[in-house]
Structure 1
Amino acid sequence: MRVQSLTLAVASAALLAPTSYPAAARIHPAVARIHPAAARIPPAVARIHPAVWREGAVSAADLLAKVRDCAPVARGRYRSDNGAPANIPVCGTRDAVFWKADMDIDCDGSPGPRCNSRTDPYFAASTAYTQSDGRPLSAERLPFIVVPAPSSLWDYRDHGIGGGSVVAVVYRDRVQYAVVGDTGPQGIIGEASYATAKGLGIRADPHGGGAPSGVTYIVFKNTKVSPIEDHAAAVTEGERLARRFADGG
């Protein structure tokens, strides 16, 4: 979250909106401490700045500064898509693994109005990990990412990662907290659920949506959200882990 951007948003809201906002949502407490006057902002501003409003305690810049250098942990490199060059390393630190790739849209899992066999020709009504009730995850409701299935190239399980591991996904100036929820092809990396893309302002369409590059996936080792479908818990834990990661441990 950039202080200057938030200040401009608050100033614009003060000029354009009424002086009291009984129906306004509350901004994140960490932001309110920095900007006491911004403790209540009109919902219109919240819609314009969702990353600041909901999940902006640690900025994208803070996280990206910690993943500039790569210490590879995989035996080789991944492709972003079939036929693409194998040039994406999986990198590691003491507390996390990360990669920088594209974002393909995963619409698999429990079907809904936006993710089903009609909207996605490759739809599969299952996910590698399931909800606490045994049902597949909902890609359109739950922010989660897809990790490559274990192979001789890399096995995510060897790094304290599994279903429910906490993830910070960074795109431009936004941070979306998510969990590991599905597995994909062994040689391809860079995929996340419909809900993850939507939260980042990426076109969340399994038919031609996603982002061609510029997405950073940071998976925190030895973490687990339970139940896996509890996104609020993922945000709370994600903010704590992201702050520790950004502060250098």
Structure 2
Amino acid sequence: MPETATSDAAASDATTTTGSAAPAPTDSGPSPSGSEPSAPATPAPVTAADLLARVSGCTPVSKGRYRKDRGRAATVPVCGTREAVYWKADMDIDCDGRPGRHCNAATDPHFSSSTAFAQSDGRALSSEKLPYVVVPAPSSLWDYREHGVRGGSVAAVVYRDRVSYAVVGDTGPADIIGEASHAAARSLGIDPDPRAGGTPSGVTYIVFKDSRVTPLEDREAAQTQGERLAREFVDSSD
């Protein structure tokens, strides 16, 4: 509610010199204080609980299940709705891309200076700067391209009570799922160290179909689009 200030000058404007009250303002005229009508309320941000409730079930779109790590049993299906695909897994740290202080050949024994998708200037993405998620390479198990997903697609990543918005930025092994960038892990409060970091479970990845951030490296655009798409997703009923 707008604050209303009172002063001696305002008081004299509200009464006549004989002390009689001034006529009450009508609805058709401006308010005495000149205040503008209040703007519509901003919708509350989508919470982790909102998103988790929306993906509590699973209609599988993959032809089988993925492993979380090499040598583990295949337990993770990719699920889908009309608006999104999603999976619930661990988070391994993908430090690939442009080398930096935390992501380089010395800190990560599996480091690669390239990413499957590139920035608008052709350079690899920066795992340290850009929250991105990794999708499995296309295979007979599941091909992300057939479900409206591509480089730059917008993703919501949920861990405990946190939600972070990211883009699809890299591909991984064809039979393993559950990986995201150093910056994505850090934004969720997950240890981003490529050797010992990550978390063994409890991460939900939601990728919105037919979405795209342009340029792919625009972190603010991913946040803005992510918030809008997440709201549409939790409000939908399919």
Question: The TM-score by the shorter chain falls in which range?
Answer: 0.7 to 0.9
Counterparts in 2 of 1:132-171, with a 5 A limit? 132-171=120-159
Normalized per residue, which structure has more helix?
1
Q: How many residues are treated as equivalent by the alignment?
A: 197
Residue equivalent to 1:92? 80
Q: Determine the C-alpha separation between the residues in 1 that align with 2:42 and 2:136.
A: 40
Fraction of identical pairs, as percent:
68
Counterparts in 2 of 1:187-198, with a 5 A limit? 187-198=175-186
Counterparts in 2 of 1:21-32, with a 5 A limit? none
Q: State the Cα distance separating 1:33 from its structure 2 match.
A: 5.4
Give deviations 1:34-93, integer Å, cap 9, x for gaps.
8xxxxxxxxxxxxxxxxxxxxx82100000000001000000000000011101000000
Residue 165 (structure 2) pairs with residue 199 (structure 1): no
Residue equivalent to 2:91? 103
TM-score (norm 1): 0.78
Q: Determine the C-alpha separation between the residues in 2 that align with 1:82 and 1:97.
A: 23
Amino acid of the structure 1 residue aligned with 2:81: T
Residue equivalent to 2:201? 213
Residue 37 (structure 2) pairs with residue 68 (structure 1): no
Residue 100 (structure 2) pairs with residue 112 (structure 1): yes
Residue 210 (structure 2) pairs with residue 242 (structure 1): no
Residue equivalent to 2:3? none
Q: Determine the C-alpha separation between the residues in 2 that align with 1:121 and 1:70.
A: 35
Q: Determine the C-alpha separation between the residues in 2 that align with 1:33 and 1:241.
A: 15
Q: Determine the C-alpha separation between the residues in 2 that align with 1:247 and 1:217.
A: 18
Amino acid of the structure 1 residue aligned with 2:60: P
Residue equivalent to 2:115? 127
Q: Determine the C-alpha separation between the residues in 1 that align with 2:105 and 2:42.
A: 46
Residue 212 (structure 2) pairs with residue 228 (structure 1): no
| SS in structure 2 at match of 1:105 | strand
Give deviations 1:220-247, integer Å, cap 9, x for gaps.
0000000000010000000000000011
Give deviations 1:163-214, integer Å, cap 9, x for gaps.
0000000000000000000000000000000000000000000011001000
| SS in structure 1 at match of 2:105 | coil
Amino acid of the structure 2 residue aligned with 1:99: W
TM-score (norm 2): 0.81
Unaligned regions of 5+ residues in structure 1, if any?
1-31, 35-55
Q: State the Cα distance separating 1:130 from its structure 2 match.
A: 0.2
Q: Determine the C-alpha separation between the residues in 1 that align with 2:77 and 2:234.
A: 21
Please identify runs of 4+ aligned residues in structure 1 that moved more than 2 A.
none
Q: Determine the C-alpha separation between the residues in 2 that align with 1:84 and 1:208.
A: 18
